[in-house]
């Protein structure tokens, strides 16, 4: 995506909340290689929202930022952007489950750039795909927890059945002793043993096919988790769209 749009950086910020305070941190970056990467810039980690109000407030209203950095009000926001060599910027918010999760941004460092509607539309689609992937990944965590509960409960019931069946030989011997005493012929013992086991052996009944559901859910989670991780991967930022922008 960075190569297709000709920008110098594509990156993602993720927010985190501590009580009534909110912070945002630079988490991922694609870089054209022309200008320095910022992924290890300490100034871009744990930035308090109140330190970047001019920058963050439009995003909190689910509004994009399309601007020339020179037009920003003087302050920490503008100073930090200029330190990175940014001349033009496009930033789109990411909302997950109605909560302001973070943002994805695009830096133009070579020249001041007026972002076209086509470019904005492409980048907006990209940010939406990230939001959907993050939201789905959160739902996968819920499904994983649910799967673990099902697996634990099913395993516990299996253990109960196994423990009960381990006692069958002792119970069978008691039954045979009380029924036949010491005088036993093979055919009678065989018949009584089968009857006893048929009537006393524990079997886990699964009328709702929970075991099949567990296996299907496990497969679904693993497959979708792989897809989500791919969507969120840094390498995918360069291949997510195959586009050609025309002036």
SS3 of the chain: the string is CHHHHCCCEEEEEEEEEECCEEEEEEEEEEECCCCCCCCCCHHHCCEEHHHCHHHHHHHHCCCCEEEEHHHCCCCHHHHHHHHCCCCEEEEEEEEECCEEEEEEEEEECCCCCCCCHHHHHHHHHHHHHHHHHHHHHHHHHHHHHHHHHHHHHHHHHHHHHHHHHHCHHHHHHHHHHHHHCCCCCHHHHHHHHHHHHHHHCCCCCCCCCHHHHHHHHHHHHHHHHHHHHHHHCCHHHHCCCCCCCCC
What percent of the chain has pLDDT above 70? 91
- Paired tokens of 114: 């007026």
Predicted confidence at residue 11, as pLDDT, reads: 92
pLDDT grade for 180, boundaries at 50, 70 and 90: confident
Predicted confidence at residue 5, as pLDDT, reads: 80
Residue 219 has pLDDT above 90, yes or no: no
**Residue 39's Cα: distance from chain center in Å?**
21
Over the stretch 101-152, which tens digit does the pLDDT of each residue have?
Answer: 999 999 999 999 988 888 888 888 888 888 888 877 777 777 888 888 888 8
Q: Please state the rounded mean pLDDT for residues 46-52.
A: 92
Q: Whole-model pTM above 0.85?
A: no
Q: C-alpha angle 206/210/212, rounded to 5°?
A: 105
Over the stretch 188-202, which tens digit does the pLDDT of each residue have?
Answer: 889 899 999 889 988
pLDDT grade for 182, boundaries at 50, 70 and 90: confident
């Amino acid at each position: 995506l960075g190569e297709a749009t000709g920008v110098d950086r594509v990156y993602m910020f993720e927010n985190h909340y501590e009580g009534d305070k909110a912070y945002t941190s630079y988490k991922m970056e694609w870089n054209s290689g022309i200008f320095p990467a910022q992924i290890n810039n300490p100034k871009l980690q744990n930035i308090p929202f109140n330190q970047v109000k001019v920058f963050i407030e439009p995003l909190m209203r689910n509004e994009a930022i399309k601007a020339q950095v020179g037009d920003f009000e003087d302050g920490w926001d503008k100073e930090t952007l200029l330190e990175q060599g940014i001349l033009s910027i496009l930033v789109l918010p990411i909302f997950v489950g109605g909560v302001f999760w973070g943002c994805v941004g695009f830096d133009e460092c070579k020249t001041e750039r007026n972002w076209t509607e086509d470019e904005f539309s492409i980048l907006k689609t990209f940010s939406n795909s990230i939001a959907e992937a993050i939201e789905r990944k959160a739902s996968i965590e819920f499904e994983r927890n649910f799967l673990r509960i099902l697996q634990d409960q099913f395993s516990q019931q299996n253990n109960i059945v196994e423990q009960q069946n381990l006692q069958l030989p002792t119970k069978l011997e008691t039954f045979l002793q009380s029924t036949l005493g010491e005088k036993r012929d093979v055919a009678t013992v065989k018949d009584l043993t089968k009857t006893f086991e048929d009537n006393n052996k524990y079997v886990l009944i699964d009328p709702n096919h929970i075991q099949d559901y567990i296996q299907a859910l496990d497969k679904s989670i693993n497959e979708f988790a792989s897809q989500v991780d791919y969507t969120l991967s840094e390498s995918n930022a360069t291949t997510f769209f195959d586009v050609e922008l025309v002036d």
